[in-house]
Amino acid sequence: MKKYLVLAVLFVSATMFAQKMKIKEGNFDFLKGQKEINVEFVYDNLTLLKKKLPEAQYVEEHSAELEEKSIGKGKTWEKKWEAAKELIWQPKFLELMNRYFHDDYGMSFQEGLSDAQYTLVVETVWLFPGWDAGVMKQPAKVTTNLKFVETANRDNVMAEVTSQNAPGDQWGSSFSNEDRLGEGYAKTGKSFARLIRKKAF
């Protein structure tokens, strides 16, 4: 029993410290005094799994596997996968960013703020959905590129940060790949917000 407990602790510890966040260029001083930041989510170059499959290939193959098990299941999953971006992943990220900035600094991060001076481009680079078999599980992982640009001049990059392997996990069991990935986006938002607060505020 002790052996399994130790392994469980080591697994949780590895998960907690797996994420790496690095500032590639710039700083966050420009955010001081800002009230609204536009946010855009980009999935154009997204790859998945250790094979780094293009998203279209991953969706096609996973859908086919589900269809073999039950007619219609693959098509249903495809809709769920696409909807997860707007209904789970993006809201999770925004929720954590706003939790760290809205009350303390009066700053909000929202989509569709075309008049905002600055835009945060959240580009998803790589996803690993993880898995949950009840007794054993593997958390999801989310890798993103986070870039602040001038809204009116996207070539003017104010700051750029890479976030690798943000873990997506929940207490108890979660058999939904989309939900686990959502927790990875929440972890990304939380870590990114903490980094900005530490460096600029």
Please give the Cα distance from 40 to 119 (Å, whole number).
7
Predicted local distance difference test score (pLDDT) of residue 105: 95
Residue 119 · residue 149 · CB < 8 Å? yes
Show the DSSP H helices in 106-176 as ranges.
none
CATH architecture of 19-54+84-200: 3-Layer(aba) Sandwich (3.40)
Q: Global pTM? A: 0.88
Q: Mean of the pLDDT values across residues 165-193?
A: 88
Strand 36-42 versus strand 153-168 pairing type? unpaired
pLDDT tens, position by position, 18-67: 689 999 999 999 999 999 999 999 999 999 999 999 999 999 999 999 99
